């Protein structure tokens, strides 16, 4: 139970948030920002979506979505309800809430890159006013909100917890998961002060069905990391088990399915060609980096990271072996990669292990193509470049490749047709459970 505010500025802001007369500013209109903006617009709030990409802003203002699982109709409806997008940071004072949903990648040394968070904050700091709440949703290391945002938002003299309010509330979006929507996923919220927390609860309380308050921004930051480290470590474990099982002639997917029948004490995780998405491959290293400041070495996290990062090479090694058995070399072979999004049934390419597989194939002289019904043209990416478009899956096309690598198991693929016509399939997702001469489990 949080304390009740007696501060006039906080009371006024809480009232505006509660009666939905507040204006919500979302910074970063991507996979996290867009669903949140749509939710607030749906509830009748005025929403301003800030983004540095003018092309994206124009698209959104024109009622068009750039994310597959968000429809044009949803964007158009939100616009009609009072949502607009802009690149004009000087409109910051119009918003009562400033929610940061910007990327937090790793640099080439696998250290946190907070440039998007810091640059965004620096850009709106000159426009801050009393009666605003700033909420960081980007995944980061414990202490970021206090160490990076706090000194910036108070640099103009605004008093934290009295005139301006600071919270951390980690995003929990799961693109493509029809079982959960923005409002049904419980929202963890931590405030810099008890009154900051109260304002944070008011900010999210209307939009999200269940709010989970914690005692500090650090606790909220650590909560998000624990969620993702839990997945990363368990996926690393099952990827290692896959290699052991393969050497022993055991189907790891059969074993996992059998173990999953235990009604307690076991959660099924499935192996793959590596980790993908913006969270699981990246977030654990935020904690390993910060832990060094305290003289700690996070061995579990780093070991699982090593195993998961090695999976694309493991898949390519399986392909090399399969080609050798057919008297072919990888160099010069035509290889089709099935699925390049990081997980099934989405168009999200962030940190996709499929791309690493494609780069390993290309670097070793293979002629690489891909097919993905969710990604018609290979997108512009910060660290990866392919000038390719998705190949149509026809019996003739499939038969024309020396090998097919099943990297992402989209539901739209016709797996029986693929198996009937492929010369060899490297199955990294366990789609083909029955033995076949042209299927190699990877």
Active site residues per annotation: 279
Q: How far apart are CA 298 and CA 289, in angstroms?
A: 9
Rounded-to-integer distance, Cα 169 and Cα 180, Å: 18
User: CA of 400: how far to CAs of 287, 327, 331, 340, 354, in Å?
Assistant: 46, 17, 16, 20, 21
C-alpha 121: how far from its chain's center?
Answer: 21
Q: Where are the alpha helices (DSSP H) in 125-193?
A: 144, 150-153
Contact assessment for residue 436 and residue 419, using Cβ atoms and an 8 Å cutoff: yes
DSSP state of 145: I
* Chain centroid to CA 387: 24
To which residue do tokens 């009604």 refer? 263
CA atoms within 13 A on the CB side of 316: 25
Question: Is residue 339 a contact partner of residue 406, using CB atoms and an 8 Å limit?
Answer: yes
Q: Is 435 exposed, middle or buried, given 0-12, 13-18 or 19+ CB atoms closer than 10 A? A: exposed
Strands 187-191 and 164-168: antiparallel
112: DSSP letter: B
Tokens representing residue 374 in the block: 């969710």
Angle subtended by helix axes 299-309 and 311-325, to nearest 10: 30
The encoded tokens of residue 317 equal 């090694």
Which helix H or strand E contains 27, and what residues bound it? strand 23-27
Are 168 and 196 within 8 A, CB to CB?
no
């Amino acid at each position: 139970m949080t304390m009740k505010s007696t501060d006039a500025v906080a009371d006024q802001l809480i009232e505006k948030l509660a009666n939905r007369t507040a204006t919500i500013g979302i910074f970063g209109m991507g996979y996290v920002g867009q669903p949140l903006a749509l939710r607030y617009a749906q509830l009748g709030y005025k929403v301003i979506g800030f983004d540095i990409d003018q092309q994206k802003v124009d698209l959104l203002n024109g009622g068009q979505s750039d994310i597959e699982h968000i429809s044009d109709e949803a964007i158009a409806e939100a616009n009609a309800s009072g949502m607009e997008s802009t690149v004009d940071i000087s409109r910051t004072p119009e918003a009562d809430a400033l929610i940061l949903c910007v990327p937090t990648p790793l640099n080439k040394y696998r250290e946190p890159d907070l440039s998007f968070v810091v640059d965004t904050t620096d850009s709106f700091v000159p426009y801050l006013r009393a009666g605003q709440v700033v909420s960081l949703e980007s995944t980061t290391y414990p202490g970021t909100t206090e160490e990076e945002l706090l000194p910036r938002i108070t640099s103009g003299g605004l008093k934290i917890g009295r005139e301006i309010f600071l919270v951390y509330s980690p995003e929990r979006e799961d693109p493509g998961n029809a079982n959960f929507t923005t409002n049904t996923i419980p929202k963890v919220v931590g405030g810099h002060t008890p009154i900051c927390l109260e304002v944070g609860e008011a900010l999210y309380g209307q939009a999200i069905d269940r709010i989970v308050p914690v005692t500090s921004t650090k606790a909220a930051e650590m909560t998000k990391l624990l969620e993702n480290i839990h997945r990363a470590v368990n996926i690393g474990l099952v990827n290692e088990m896959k290699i052991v099982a393969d050497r022993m002639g055991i189907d790891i997917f059969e074993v996992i399915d059998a173990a999953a029948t235990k009604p307690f004490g076991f959660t099924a995780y499935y192996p793959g060609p590596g980790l993908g998405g913006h969270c699981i491959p990246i977030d654990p290293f935020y904690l390993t980096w910060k832990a060094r400041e305290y003289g700690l070495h996070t061995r579990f996290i780093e070991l699982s990271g090593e195993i998961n990062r090695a999976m694309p090479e493991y898949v390519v090694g399986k392909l090399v072996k399969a080609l050798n058995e057919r008297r072919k070399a990888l160099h010069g072979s035509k290889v089709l990669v099935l699925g390049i999004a990081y997980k099934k049934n989405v168009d999200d390419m962030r940190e996709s292990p499929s791309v690493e597989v494609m780069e390993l194939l290309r670097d070793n002289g293979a002629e690489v193509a891909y097919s993905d019904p969710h990604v018609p043209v290979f997108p512009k990416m910060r660290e990866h470049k392919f000038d390719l478009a998705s190949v149509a899956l026809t019996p003739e096309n499939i038969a024309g490749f020396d090998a097919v690598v099943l990297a992402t198991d989209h539901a739209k693929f016709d797996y029986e047709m693929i198996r009937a016509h492929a010369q060899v399939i490297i199955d990294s997702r366990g789609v083909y459970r029955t033995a076949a001469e042209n299927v190699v489990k990877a």
